[in-house]
Amino acid sequence: MTRFVFITGGVVSSLGKGIASAALAALLQARGHNVRLRKLDPYLNVDPGTMSPYQHGEVFITDDGAETDLDLGHYERFTGVHARRSDNTTTGRIYSDVIARERRGDYLGATVQVIPHITDAIKEAVVNGTDGYDFVLVEIGGTVGDIESLPFLEAIRQLRNDLGYDRTMCVHLTLLPYIPSAGELKTKPTQHSVKELQNVGIQPQILLCRSDRPIPKNERQKIANFCNVRPEAVIAALDVDTIYACPIAYHQQGMDREVLRYFDLDFEESPDLTKWEKIVETIRHPKKEARIAVVGKYTALLDSYKSLTEALLHGGIAHDARVKIEWIDSEALEKTDDVSSILQDLDGILVPGGFGERGSEGKINAIRFAREHKIPFLGICFGMQMAVIECARSLANLPKASSTEFGPTEEPLVALMTEWAKGNELLRRREGDDLGGTMRLGAYTAKLADGSRVAEIYGKTEIKERHRHRWEVNLHYKSQLEAAGLRFSGMSPDGILPEIVEYPDHPWFIGVQYHPELLSKPFDPHPLFAGFVGAAVERHETAPFLDEKTES
């Protein structure tokens, strides 16, 4: 029997519903239950694929090619369960589906309304494909009281009646602010938030209260009395120094116990949290260190690189090392004549994915610096493309090499992809197509060259990685680039699309067309990030500073 746990949020946004959902799922897993997580987003976009990173943060890609909310990345990193397209539903997708059904005549001429048509579609999105799971955790985006969330909350209210209260429960995340002048935690925001939830017919069974300090017994009892929950069900979500401490912290507060108690399941035996304890211990007390620059153009909002940040942390865990990330705006490297003043003391340089010409020359400058000074380098998606352009300009006598993404060019080293194979299906796209969903998206296979560095890193010659891009490296220039020293060490199975490039004579220089950060987990670091951070750690321990190196 599948049980559903709905996670809502109140008072303010950004309290951490995604982390709370993922941590609870990890605890249930540790107790032997199989889980699935889903996210309902109330915005009208069909998906976040065309949204600015400054608006939405990172777009997380699933194996089946869905562009989804970044919280699905947290779900995967905490549980290891690969998300699917059906695990992220937006208001835009619901309305698009309902309107399409109405146009087909599926509603037999009925007046289409929020209730029952929109709420029925939401309920279908929640329950479809959940057979065989012990628990399905469903996070509702936004904040209770927002007008956008109302159809989702109504659908949850109906689902609790449809499925029965023995199969459904609601966890509500709120804020307990501390007022220094009063010297106490204030419970009133939580009371009002729960009242908002009760006004739409939902009574939460557990309150997860974000706080920077423990909740005194009197305040806990007060919250329980006013919000109609058991005192034991008022769970303190205390601030922690790393998100990977959340499963341990929530278990100590009794969250998993209360969930199992509600569903009348055994909770006496403690879960095995050994792997989380080891991860947290490594993060808190690393024995080594590396300084790595991330050269991008969305550095003003670090959520734009959420999976990347976590993957670097995972790479550090693999080597018992602390990774200190230096965020460098790529445009700053276009405005200086002395790139070394910014990059000289770093142990590694990473150029991530991105779109558009802005900041591209700064990324190329960073790549050239990494290549010339033998600094470990990892280029991801756009970063790989810029690495190829840098090689063409600097080493292959193609000074006008560029990308058609930036406009017409005499030497299109990177060009718009118009067709590609996915399994037995040939996918096509034209330049004027809509932007949303028209990229090479999802998991694709790549073949690795025998004897290459990437084959050594992966320990095999066939891999499957997740993609998100419109432009490809132009194979027309392959022979010239390889003559200049750049090896194409990974290709699509048909040999048409370059997937990986590397410099064999460089200590560690790899560019990949895909996004390896999307598959990295704290208990299973991605091989490329483990290798990259390992090379950076080695440089940190052995390499002299650039000025010393230059003098010698």
In our burial notation (b when 16+ CB lie closer than 10 A, e otherwise), range 318-339 reads bbebbbebbebbbeebbeeeeb
517 is catalytic: yes
Burial, 544: exposed, middle or buried (Cβ in 10 Å; 0-12, 13-18, 19+)? exposed
246 is catalytic: no
Q: Which residues contact 82 (CB under 8 A, 6 or more apart)?
A: 62, 63, 76
Q: Which residues contact 105 (CB under 8 A, 6 or more apart)?
A: none
Q: Which residues contact 268 (CB under 8 A, 6 or more apart)?
A: none
Q: Are strands 234-238 and 321-329 parallel, antiparallel or unpaired?
A: unpaired
Catalytic residue among 251, 319, 515, 540: 515
**Which pair of tokens denotes residue 327?**
């965020």
The number of beta carbons lying within 10 Å of the beta carbon of residue 231 is 12
Q: Which residues contact 338 (CB under 8 A, 6 or more apart)?
A: none
**Which pair of tokens denotes residue 438?**
């028209």
DSSP element (H, E) containing 188: helix 188-199
350 in Cβ contact with 363 (< 8 Å): no
**Which pair of tokens denotes residue 443?**
């998991």
DSSP element (H, E) containing 74: helix 71-79
Separation CA 349–CA 289 (nearest Å): 15
Q: Which residues contact 519 (CB under 8 A, 6 or more apart)?
A: 465, 466, 526
381 is catalytic: yes
Q: At what angle do helices 360-372 and 382-394 cross, to 10 degrees?
A: 70
Residue with tokens 């260190």: 289
Catalytic residue among 58, 139, 465, 517: 517
Q: Are strands 471-473 and 60-61 parallel, antiparallel or unpaired?
A: unpaired
Catalytic residue among 381, 390, 499, 526: 381
Separation CA 438–CA 469 (nearest Å): 9
DSSP element (H, E) containing 279: helix 274-284
Q: Which are the catalytic amino acids? A: 381, 515, 517
